[in-house]
Amino acid sequence: MSATASLLFRQLFEPISSTCTYLLGCPETGQAVLVDPVLPTWQRDLEVLGSLDLRLVATIETHIHADHLTSASLLKREVGSRIAVAALDALPCADIGIEDGVPLQFGSLRLQPMHTPGHTDHHFALLCGDRLFTGDALLIDGCGRTDFQSGDAAMLYRSVRGKLFALPGETLVYPAHDYQGRRVSSIEQERQRNPRLGGDRTIEEFVALMAGLDLPYPKFIDYAVPGNLQCGACPPGLPEHLRHFCEPAQTLDSSAGAVPASRAAPGSPVTSPGQSTPTP
């Protein structure tokens, strides 16, 4: 039986930061995990788990996020889920240290962590059968930025092309973000068509491309990173215009449906190899 033969799976969307949270569940044991859960949608996520008769046993971070707060601590407090982050981050609030190639097993659910530095130095992608959760290392037609949090474009190039693109072409690519309503791709599609990393792009070209993006300073990074180093603490002194990153959202769609126009990331520009989106 393949690793995903009996997998329960939902792709959930958080529109404030355009984050995709992934629910993976084992139908035999009722154990479930959330990959990259987001603070404002924690209640929605628990409702979806409940509707599937699943019990949240762990939350898993692909990396220390700079554009949203994780709900890991809050969910641990509410339902006792354990918190998994990169072992290299050595966070006192973590219960499980993610290590390269050391599987995470929850009932029949088995996730293979792949260390994919470049967006951040301790970033992990997670492989579950034929599904790959790429975090911010590889996005659909894009990639995460490399100019903060120990980012390194050459390292990201090697992670994506050397590790992720080496997977079977039919492997499904589930990114941590998308700003244009796209939800899934494949390794083959990204290998061929990703405008930053695909085709015959050289490492020199990629490094120059990333260096020339001229992206704006991330508006939430100064609060998100310290908050996420505490596994999702709402930082003190948060300005009024950033409060929605901390507050529960009551009216969000419970599916990975379309982004409500009023909540979509503002001014998502047209895709190009250089600057495709509000890059995480």
Please state, in angstroms and rounded to a whole number, the distance separating the CA atoms of residues 125 and 62: 6
DSSP characters over 191-215 = HHH-TTTSTT--HHHHHHHHHT--P
How far apart are alpha carbons 6 and 222 in whole angstroms?
Answer: 41
**CB 43, CB 54: distance < 8 Å:** no
Q: How do strand 131-135 and strand 172-175 relate by DSSP bridges? A: parallel
**Candidate residues 136, 141, 152, 190; the one interacting with Fe ion per rule CB under 5 A:** 136
36 scored as a contact of Fe ion (CB under 5 A): no
Q: Which residues pair with 85 in a beta bridge?
A: 97
**Cβ 96 to Fe ion shortest distance, Å:** 20
Minimum CB separation from Fe ion for residue 3, in Å? 26
178 touching Fe ion, by CB under 5 A: no
The residue (of 99 and 147) whose beta carbon lies closer to Fe ion is: 147
In the complex, residue closest to Fe ion by CB? 136
Select from 2-10, 21-29, 80-88, 130-138 the region that touches Fe ion (CB under 5 A). 130-138
Q: According to the binding rule CB under 5 A, does residue 117 interact with Fe ion?
A: no
| Residues ≥6 apart with Cβ < 8 Å to 157 | 118, 197, 203, 206, 207
Q: How far is the CB of 65 from Fe ion (least distance, A)?
A: 5
Least Cα distance to 137 among 174, 108, 181, 86 occurs for: 174
By CB under 5 A, residue 280 contacts Fe ion: yes
Q: Which residue, 17 or 73, is less far from Fe ion as judged by CB?
A: 17
* Separation of alpha carbons 67 and 45, rounded Å: 19
Residue 14 in contact with Fe ion, rule: CB under 5 A: no
- Residue 190 engages Fe ion in binding (rule: CB under 5 A): no
- Tokens 């059968």 -> residue: 129
At residue 151's C-alpha, the angle toward residues 147 and 153, to 5°, is 85
* Residue among 107 and 226 whose Cβ is closer to Fe ion: 226
CB nearer Fe ion, residue 108 or residue 230: 230
Quick check: 40 binds Fe ion (CB under 5 A)?
no
# binding residues, Fe ion (CB under 5 A): 2
Q: Which stretch binds Fe ion (CB under 5 A): 8-16, 132-140, 179-187, 253-261?
A: 132-140
Which of 31, 146 has the CB closer to Fe ion? Answer: 146
- State the residues that interact with Fe ion by CB under 5 A: 136, 280
